[in-house]
Amino acid sequence: MKETSKIKFFKGLSRVLLKPIFGPPWPFAVQRVWFKLMASATILPKGVTITAVKMASLNADLIHYKNALMAEKSAEKVVLYLHGGAYCICAPKTHRSLTTNLAKKTRAKVFVPDYRLAPEHTFPAGIDDCLASYQWLLSEGYRAHNISLAGDSAGGGLVMATAQRIRDLNIPQPCALVLISPWSDLTLSQLNKVNDKLDPLLRWSNLKAGVQAYLQGQNPSHPLASSALAELDNLPPMLIQVGSEEILLEDAHKLHKQAQRYQNDCTLSVYQDGWHVFQLQAGLLDMSDRAINEIDQFIEKCMSENISCHQITQ
């Protein structure tokens, strides 16, 4: 099947099987079950192993490819991956199509913590869990300069919040921040400006529900909730990947501009015809594989040298 046909197929699949269930009127319990059920059909790449581990008090996936566990901890490449789901749904299992391919390509240990979700646990509980996961990695002997923080959608928001907390606490910083379709503005400033019919997955209604459940009346402009409005100085280099057909496209641009404003090293890659977290189709779609390759190259570069802020259109 040609790439263009594959893109149409996966968009259509998302519109039929995911978008109608992702958000109201469905309760979060139903959404969680449905997304885990859909993830059960994931075909994992050969050579990848998934192990259940504890990161402090959190359950987590540890994903590695073949001999990636052979090095000493102080020399191992590590990715701490924070899954998306509007702060209310999804889990390490729902993102294995992405995280396993990321582990295979980067040859890194990929840790995916099962952080607490709203509405049972509100802001900043998830951020506290992600920070605790990072501190656990350091306590286990992994070196900060070999660790990258990565996440998609709300997980991208958690990456930025965790990075700010690490900076403010003077904890050794990770080498890179990887942000896939990041949700960086919980004020929903684009709500009445962008029609969500174009996006094959996201609806404004489910983002509104996510904000209400996660913040429960707290200020959406808080820097740990909306990183596009935060002070982004003295943070590790950032890679932002976003699709051209998603309602969070402007969030990615706003975050990129804010990083530039604070002179932070930041790369913005806009993938034409891409949709929200199309990287989940890694191993099946060339565009998704290119995005994973870009992440791998970015992490490698950040581990060895500084990069400058620029924008790439794919």
The reported pLDDT for the residue numbered 304 is 87
The reported pLDDT for the residue numbered 67 is 67
The reported pLDDT for the residue numbered 68 is 63
The reported pLDDT for the residue numbered 309 is 39
The reported pLDDT for the residue numbered 307 is 40
pLDDT band at 314 (very low <50, low <70, confident <90, very high): low
The beta-strand segments (E) located in 69-224 are 78-82, 109-113, 147-152, 176-180
Average pLDDT (212-227) is 98
Q: Which residues on adjacent β-strands are paired with residue 238?
A: 177, 266
Tokens standing for 197? 């019919």
Tokens standing for 99? 């995280």
Residue 120: CA atoms inside 13 Å, Cβ hemisphere, count? 8
Average pLDDT (248-275) is 97
Average pLDDT (13-32) is 97
Annotated domain spans of the chain: 3-313
**264-298 pLDDT, tens digit each:** 999 999 999 999 999 999 999 999 999 999 999 99
- Whole-number mean pLDDT of the chain? 94
pLDDT band at 70 (very low <50, low <70, confident <90, very high): low
- Give the count of beta carbons closer than 10 Å to the beta carbon of residue 195: 9
The reported pLDDT for the residue numbered 310 is 41
- Alpha-carbon distances, residue 280 vs 33, 97, 98, 244, 277 (angstroms): 18, 6, 5, 16, 6
**89-111 pLDDT, tens digit each:** 999 999 999 999 999 999 999 99
Residue 33: CB partners within 8 Å, gap ≥ 6? Answer: none
The reported pLDDT for the residue numbered 66 is 83
Residue 4 near residue 287, CB atoms below 8 Å: no
- Residue 38, burial from CB neighbour count under 10 angstroms (0-12, 13-18, 19+): middle
Active-site residues, by number, are 153, 246, 276
Give the closest residue to 80 by CA, choosing from 105, 104, 99, 52: 99
The reported pLDDT for the residue numbered 133 is 98
pLDDT at position 215 over 80: yes
Average pLDDT (148-168) is 98
The reported pLDDT for the residue numbered 308 is 38
Query: What whole-number percentage of the chain has pLDDT above 70?
Result: 95
CATH architecture assignment, domain 3-313 = 3-Layer(aba) Sandwich (3.40)
